[in-house]
A and B are shown apart, each in its own frame.
Chain A
Amino acid sequence: MFNKDKKKLYIGLDFSGDNAMISFTTDSLDNPSTLSITPGREEFSIPLYMCYQKEEKRFSYGDEALRFSRAGLGELYDKILSRACKGQKAFVDGEAYEYTRLLARFIKRLVRMCETMMPDHTAGQLVLTVETLTLNVIETFDKVIELLEIPDLRVHIMDHRECFYYYALSQPVELSQNNIALFEYENEILKGMTLKRLQKSYPQLVDIEERDFGNIAYAPDDCFSDAITQMFGKDIYSAAYLVGDGFSEGWMKESLKLLCRGRRAFQGQNLYSKGASYAARISGGAVKWGYVYMGLHTMKFNVSIKVNDGGNTSFLTLVSAGGRWFESSGNCQVILDGENAVDFWIHLPDRRDAKIENFLLRGLPERENKTTRIDIMAKPVSDHEVRLIIKDLGFGEIAPSSGKVWEALVSV
């Protein structure tokens, strides 16, 4: 049970390749901590392995799972996330077990470990992050979230870009007042990201540009120097962050000098999980946040309806621009007063005017006025399209429902 007396824990869980990394913070901690599986050492990566020990009827996780499996004490389950995304099933103790269930157990275990680290805290917000969010990943995480069954835990999903945005803008002002760079070097491929913000607006609009510098393994120092020159140009950068195993091989010489000229540079492995942890704290409303990130998965427009709310006319926003589209569904119930139609107001955040989509409820039975209750669901299917679903609920015994459902897709 969620204990209201306990303080909230904000957790970020990063899935990179076949490993997970988990960071957590609280309302009082300045910086997130990352869970190390080996106490006293900075071993943050947790392999996505699980092992079921039949005799003890329990699961083990990460490296421990690998050890138990190698010792012949149980069956090993690997690549849990990718298998869950493919909808695969495993056999656990002779029973078919979906990988989504295994993934949910894995996540739950990590969340509980964070709670153990902070005994007077309970998990309040969790952010799951992967490099790229596809519809398949989103749907898999949605299933996993349903299986988590942790009371009062709110879960969000975001990509690495967004975690970078939360991480970079949570740093002290001297590290975030100008452009911010991130380089990721993994599997011999170098990628770069530049975070820019429109400082004159409030909230400040943030944009992230991404570049792919390709394989640089043949001359990493030279290639990285070129990449820095290309990306920075004449712009001012306050900070640069280096992530990925490729940077840990000690080849940076000239490129490092170039990188640190006029700015501070940081190298680490847990930027995304820490960024996710910051994002969890900000999503929980614990921090005043003056930025809006218009990323790939950011909903691009608002969908509203005009309602009579206890005698006052007001706009009810069903889908808000600025949120992650797959988390932006809105639902309400209204009673038709007058025409059998609903007007949807489609509004871009940077425009004053709105487009009005009139939705006629054809085939609705004739009824007395104000005896038709309808359910309106606005569900984004991408960052620029929203599916509208209207159901006739009728009016109890006074006007039974026709069971009719109307659907439409709106976009800008």
Chain B
Amino acid sequence: MSLVLCKCRSAEQPFYIRSGKLNIYSLEELLFYAAGAVFIDRDDFMNADFTGWIRKNLENAELADELDKKLKSKAPLVDFFKPIEEASGYLSEVQAGKLNLSLNKFDHMSPLELGKRLADDFLSKGMLKKAILTYKKLLSDVGDTRTSSASVVGDIMHNQGVAYARFFDFHEAYNCFVAAYRSNHRVESLNEAVDCAVLAEDNSLLKELNTLFKTSYEHIEKEVKRASSIHTASLMEARKNADQPFDDINEKYLVACED
């Protein structure tokens, strides 16, 4: 049992985190949110509104001054958060280390990756429409897929497929998974495309798959057999668990590498 001393007051008026759709009243709430967030949007915090809230509502001019300096010097997100972590003392050393690692990652992400993080966050919160719209916007901004971001683009398409599948729009989901497989060449995308074709009960889609990906014929056949052997209702239930957005897979991979 431990008691973490609150060194800063709680505000009467909250600060609204746009990307997280959350009102926060204290630095502790901010750090709790940040430590668990899939995505931290720089624009939410690295602005005069946020430092002004700290100055006026948390009555912490010293911290606000320090953050204003960071804003002026266009400091990375991880450097911007460090004074907040120190002023609050809410996170343990290990928790602060993990948060800083994530923030550092956000700092080095391309706009496309950051956008995907935001859309994935919507998806994980069940905000499917918003997720689909964000994925669409990202894909239209990308335009021609460059080789370097092909994998990311593929993952975006895959997750867009996940969102459609959760809407039971298996045709649209199928299209997304097929497009995803073309970009990222991940077998998971191909499997999801097969599942969607089976769930859509549209044989033409399965034929199309075999035509499109001749080299993967055996794999497709195997997957069709697996999917068909499961009752549709069970398959839909199974899909809920199977439809993991790619970022989760990436996260697991990253953690394993760091270990």
A interface residues, Cβ below 8 angstroms from B: 305-311, 313, 316, 332-339, 341-343, 370-371, 373, 393, 395-398
Contact = CB atoms under 8 A, between A and B. Distances in A.
B256 to A, nearest CB: 25
Contact of A339 (B1, B24, B26, B32): B1
Interface string B130-162: 000000000000000000000000000000000
B86 A310 contact: yes
Contacts of B22: 397-398
Interface stretch (B5-13, B50-58, B165-173, B223-231): B5-13
Nearest to B31: A370
A141 B26 CA distance: 36
Contact of B90 (A332, A341, A370): A370
Given A308-B89, A373-B28, A335 B6 contact: yes
Interface in B1-47: 1-7, 10, 14, 22-26, 28-29, 32-33
B234 interface: no
Given A308-B4, A311-B89, A334-B4, A373 B26 contact: yes
Interface of B: 1-7, 10, 14, 22-26, 28-29, 32-33, 86, 89-90, 92-93
A393 B4 CA distance: 14
B28 A337 contact: no
12 contacts: A307-B5, A308-B3, A309-B89, A310-B7, A337-B1, A337-B2, A370-B90, A371-B32, A395-B32, A396-B26, A396-B29, A398-B32
Given A311-B92, A335-B90, A371-B32, A396 B5 contact: no
A230 B153 CA distance: 100
A355 B86 CA distance: 33
A193 B2 CA distance: 48
A362 to B, nearest CB: 15
A373 B14 CA distance: 16
Contacts of B5: 307-310, 316, 332, 334
B58 to A, nearest CB: 13
Contacts of B7: 309-310
B3 A342 contact: yes
A396 B3 contact: no
B82 to A, nearest CB: 13
B1 A333 contact: no
A373 B89 CA distance: 14
A69 to B, nearest CB: 48
B2 A396 contact: no
B28 A341 contact: no
A334 to B, nearest CB: 4
A339 B2 CA distance: 8
A370 B3 CA distance: 9
A371 B10 CA distance: 14
A333 B93 contact: no
Contacts of B92: 311
A132 to B, nearest CB: 39
A343 B86 CA distance: 26
A398 B6 contact: no
A360 to B, nearest CB: 11
B42 to A, nearest CB: 22
A366 to B, nearest CB: 16
B29 A395 contact: yes
B6 A373 contact: yes
